[in-house]
């Protein structure tokens, strides 16, 4: 499965920024050893149901250490028997586009 998720603390630093809390959550994902990527809006992680959800829970828990309330947005693509889809899905679309990533 692939899970795209975003965690937001309800409290930020003195400027309202939440980068430190988000970095702590991303660190949990990176330390998991599961295939992952982070972009401006979400972190995507791939693996089996139990292992992916355990990482998401740990990421929420580290953010909850610095915020009394945490928001979680989660979207899952559950496709048993398939692996490597974190990059495979994008590669198939790029192939159809003729490798024109980022070109308009």
Domains defined for the chain, CATH in brackets: 2-97 (3.30.70.930)
Secondary structure (3-state) at 21: helix
> Per-residue pLDDT for 102 more than 80?
no
Query: How far does CA 76 lie from the centroid of its chain?
Result: 10
The pLDDT value given to residue 100: 61
DSSP for 30-60 reads HHH-S-EEE-SS-EEEES-HHHHHHHHHHHH
60 vs 101, higher pLDDT:
60
For the chain, the average pLDDT equals 90
Cα 19 from Cα 65, distance rounded (Å): 14
Predicted confidence band of residue 39 (pLDDT cuts 50, 70, 90):
very high
pLDDT at residue 30, as a whole number: 97
pLDDT, residue 10, reads 85
The tokens for 80 are 């048993």
Q: Place 23 in a pLDDT band, splitting at 50, 70 and 90.
A: very high
Q: What is the pLDDT of residues 46-76, one digit of tens each?
A: 999 999 999 999 999 999 998 889 999 999 9
The stretch 1-27 carries a mean pLDDT of 86
Residue 2: closest CA among 57, 50, 53, 46: 46
Distance from CA of residue 41 to its chain's centroid? 9
Q: What is the pLDDT of residue 7?
A: 95
């Amino acid at each position: 499965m692939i899970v795209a998720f975003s965690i937001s603390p309800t409290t930020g630093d003195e400027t309202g920024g939440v980068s430190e809390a988000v970095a702590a959550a991303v660190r949990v994902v990176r330390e998991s050893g599961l295939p992952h990527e982070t972009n401006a809006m979400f972190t995507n992680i791939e693996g089996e149901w139990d292992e992916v959800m355990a990482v998401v829970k740990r990421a929420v828990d580290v953010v909850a250490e610095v915020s009394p309330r945490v928001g979680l947005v989660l979207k899952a693509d559950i496709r048993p028997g398939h692996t490597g889809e974190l990059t495979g899905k994008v590669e198939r679309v790029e192939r159809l586009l003729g490798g024109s990533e980022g070109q308009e």
